[in-house]
Amino acid sequence: MKIMHVMFFDSQGILLNWAVPQGTTVNGDYYRWILQEKLRPAIRKKRPDLLESGVILLHDNAPAHRKHNVVELLSKWGWEVLQHPAYSPDLSPCDFFLFPSVKKHLRGIRFDSVEHIEAACNQAVRQTDASGVSSGIRGLVNRWQKCKDIGGEYVE
């Protein structure tokens, strides 16, 4: 069994943990829908001042993120999108912080249904959130600086 979540977080915690329905492809249209119908309302509810001060979004360069209607929507909202180098999981807080932390909570558990996986995943995300995602953001700043200092090479 496989599940997919789309997550957004900032230094204060998880903004959105969205379980993608089984069989759904996350293309540009679906990603735009998540941004418009799920993320923006979540920010409005959890961090209303963020919409006023300006959202800075870091997402990788997946085709869904670069689709014209997504880029257009983010521009309309005035959200700044940080450039993410291709094939650079070392510079993605999800890859070097969030996913390993969630996996740590799930390691060694056998699941017998999608519902059990979802419940365990949501619990793992809450535990990660409680432990502080701000360390993931701080880690990103440190990794970017290291990458710059060593001329753009891969950072461990």
pLDDT in the model for residue 42: 97
Following CA atoms 74, 53, 137, 80 in sequence, which dihedral angle do they give, to the nearest 10 degrees? 30
pLDDT in the model for residue 152: 64
CA atoms within 13 A on the CB side of 8: 19
Instruction: Answer yes or no: is pLDDT of 154 > 90.
Output: no
**Enclosing domain of residue 29:** 4-149
- Provide the angle, in degrees to the nearest 10, between the axes of the packed helices 114-131 and 99-106: 120
Q: What are the tens digits of pLDDT across the range 19-33?
A: 999 999 999 999 999
In a domain, 74, yes or no: yes
Residues in the chain: 156
pLDDT in the model for residue 87: 60
CATH number, residue 61 = 3.30.420.10
In a domain, 27, yes or no: yes
In a domain, 155, yes or no: no
Domains: count for the chain: 1
Q: What are the tens digits of pLDDT across the range 81-130?
A: 887 666 666 666 667 677 778 888 888 888 898 899 889 888 888 887 65
How far, in Å, CA of 113 to CA of 150, rounded? 46
In a domain, 32, yes or no: yes
In a domain, 154, yes or no: no
How far, in Å, CA of 28 to CA of 26, rounded? 7
Q: Which residue has the higher pLDDT, 37 or 87?
A: 37
In a domain, 156, yes or no: no
